[in-house]
Structure 1
Amino acid sequence: MAINDGAAGLGSLIADHEAGILAEWIRALGVQDGDRRILRSELETQCRGVLTALRQAISSGVDIGNPAYERTRGLLDDISRSRAAQGFSPSETATFIFSLKEPVFEIIRKTHGEDAAAVARDTWAMTRLLDSLGLHTMETYQRSRDAVIARQQEEIAELSTPVVKLWDGILALPLIGTLDSARTQVVMENLLQSIVDHAAEIAIIDITGVPTVDTLVAQHLLKTVAAARLMGADCLVSGIRPQIAQTMVHLGVELTVVSKATLADAFALALQRTGRAVVRSKAAADAATAASRAAKA
């Protein structure tokens, strides 16, 4: 956009009153007592940097897509990303740039006095500029928040799919929550890597914490089982509650894999398949027998 968009004299106007504008802007923003998210010195540095960059760029017009605004956009991007990470709300983030309007408008009014046309021209130019910068700030903030949420979801998915070694060659994968396509991928990757790491023969997938099993969830389970078999490990499914069993029968869902009601039952079967058994020690058996005899006496 050309310089004749009303911004020609705004650069010098801001330069002449930069200290006053900066002071009023910082005062308008303020830092509330007890707010540990940002220090006043940090806020002052942010305001000073943006105002300086804005003063240098504004003589080129009010189109923030102009290369002259590259530094201004970069500073606002950094501020938006940091505030998204620090827990600032969208309105608090937008206020950072929108609160600059009042001190600038006041300087425009005082500078032009009774010249209504000049006041209207410069006010309109600054309004367009600050509104555009405010929207740019919010877009960056939203992208940053979306990135934070996506990263947190990935971390939660990782934490909610632990693979536990129950015995030599026997792993357990307790699942909690809904099993969707994205989470199935994480489950599969974790399980396959653990099978390799522990040279596992059997993997028990426990779905006690899965609220419901429908056709889609069953498909995800079967994909995981198939992938584990390709790695040389057999799979067992445990934790199928009566309600889930009835639902699966009603839907015609078939799990082509051995299933057990509890993790303990699945573990006992896994031990049997690997040629192991859990038995009571002779001392414990003798103590149990003695206690039984004493109770009958």
Structure 2
Amino acid sequence: MSSNTLKLLQKHKKTILEIWMKNQLTDDGLREDLISNEDLREQSEELVAALVANLSGNDLEDLDGDNWSSVIEILGGIAITRARQGFSPRETGRFVHSLKESILEVLQIQIKDPQQLFDESMKIIRVMDNLSIVTFETFIKGREEVILRQTDEIAEISTPVIRVWDGILALPIIGTLDSSRTQIVMENLLQEIVETGSSIAILDISGVPAVDSLVAQHLIKTVSATRLMGAECIISGIRPEIAQTVVHLGIDLSNIITKASLASALAYAFKVLRLEVRKTNSVNKINNI
């Protein structure tokens, strides 16, 4: 970029910022629910200052150079923040694209020579397009981090191990049971067996939409692991359609205790532990036999 154009951009840095802010604030896609106008202006001002300061030199397309590190760092921070705040890729890309439009608008006003305007505009377009790619890549990484964190949080929430009584644990499973989730289920259940010294674990599959051969194998593995820890495992929530599917697929669950409901499984667990439920004065009471 010519020294004259660089001086021009430095001189009209505030004009670029004002045009850019005007374009952003009048954009129909402005997300005031995700970022305040003050924060938006602060981000924009910081980026404009860093960008204009780094437009000198001949390596305008080499964004890996040291002189572009500050701009990349600012854009990366903005992209990550926007990914976490809930901005869409289009909205984040529009943020950088509107800056390019603002710079080109200033060049069109200040440069009168058509050839010079074309040359300098193409340089700005190439730089801003490359920065848009960097911003998009960083945004995608930030969004992936958010998705992975949310997936882990959902997995933890969806596999709670509940201590329903002394020596009895229950683990309600909701949703599809795949290999990775089976591992989480087993780890949580086995850890809780060790910590509580429980002898009976109930796996309730009432919330599992369907049971196929793969899901059945996962359940069998969980039961086997539980038995190796010295605890008996009961599978509850066997609905009629699930029972028919299991029979149709030829899956052998004969060595596993199964019950139609969690209440039935709990009653069976009480029986094994020689506990019984009695109603006395409208209050449920459990006594040792």
TM-score, normalised relative to structure 2? 0.90
- Alignment of 1:213 with 2:211, yes or no, is yes
- Alignment of 1:104 with 2:99, yes or no, is no
- Alignment of 1:39 with 2:27, yes or no, is no
Q: Find the counterpart in structure 1 of residue 286 from structure 2.
A: none
- Alignment of 1:118 with 2:116, yes or no, is yes
Q: Find the counterpart in structure 2 of residue 78 from structure 1.
A: 77
Task: Tell me the secondary structure at the aligned position of residue 210 of structure 2.
Answer: coil
Measure the CA separation in 1 of the matches of 2:279 and 2:33: 58
Out of 187, 190, 193, which is 2:188 matched to? 190
- Cα 1:57–1:278 change in 2 (3 A) is same
Measure the CA separation in 2 of the matches of 1:242 and 1:15: 75
2:13 counterpart letter in structure 1: E
Q: Find the counterpart in structure 2 of residue 58 from structure 1.
A: 55
State how many pairs are aligned. 278
| CA apart distance, 1:215 | 0.9
| CA apart distance, 1:34 | 8.3
Deviations 1:16-39 (A, max 9, x none): 211111111111111789823212
Q: Which 5+ residue runs of structure 1 have no aligned equivalent?
A: 1-5, 285-297
Q: Find the counterpart in structure 2 of residue 130 from structure 1.
A: 128
Task: Tell me the secondary structure at the aligned position of residue 187 of structure 1.
Answer: helix
Task: Tell me the secondary structure at the aligned position of residue 198 of structure 2.
Answer: coil
- Cα 1:106–1:88 change in 2 (3 A) is same
Deviations 1:211-230 (A, max 9, x none): 11111111111221122222
1:82 counterpart letter in structure 2: T
Q: Could you say which structure has the higher helix fraction? A: 1
Contact 1:7–1:125, Cα closer than 8 Å, also in 2: no
Superposition map of 1:145-160 within 5 A: 145-160=143-158
| CA apart distance, 1:87 | 1.7
Out of 161, 164, 175, which is 1:163 matched to? 161
TM-score, normalised relative to structure 1? 0.87
2:51 counterpart letter in structure 1: L
Q: Find the counterpart in structure 1 of residue 94 from structure 2.
A: 95
1:88 counterpart letter in structure 2: F
| CA apart distance, 1:74 | 0.8
Contact 1:157–1:183, Cα closer than 8 Å, also in 2: yes
CA RMSD after TM alignment: 2.0
Q: Alignment identity in percent?
A: 44
1:206 counterpart letter in structure 2: D
- Cα 1:43–1:247 change in 2 (3 A) is same
| CA apart distance, 1:7 | 6.1
| CA apart distance, 1:59 | 1.3
Q: Find the counterpart in structure 1 of residue 233 from structure 2.
A: 235
Larger radius of gyration: 1
Deviations 1:38-67 (A, max 9, x none): 122211111111111112222133222222
| CA apart distance, 1:11 | 3.1
Measure the CA separation in 2 of the matches of 1:263 and 1:58: 68
Contact 1:213–1:244, Cα closer than 8 Å, also in 2: yes
Measure the CA separation in 1 of the matches of 2:229 and 2:26: 58
- Cα 1:169–1:9 change in 2 (3 A) is farther
- Cα 1:74–1:156 change in 2 (3 A) is same
Q: Which 5+ residue runs of structure 2 have no aligned equivalent?
A: 283-289
Measure the CA separation in 2 of the matches of 1:34 and 1:175: 38
| CA apart distance, 1:201 | 0.3
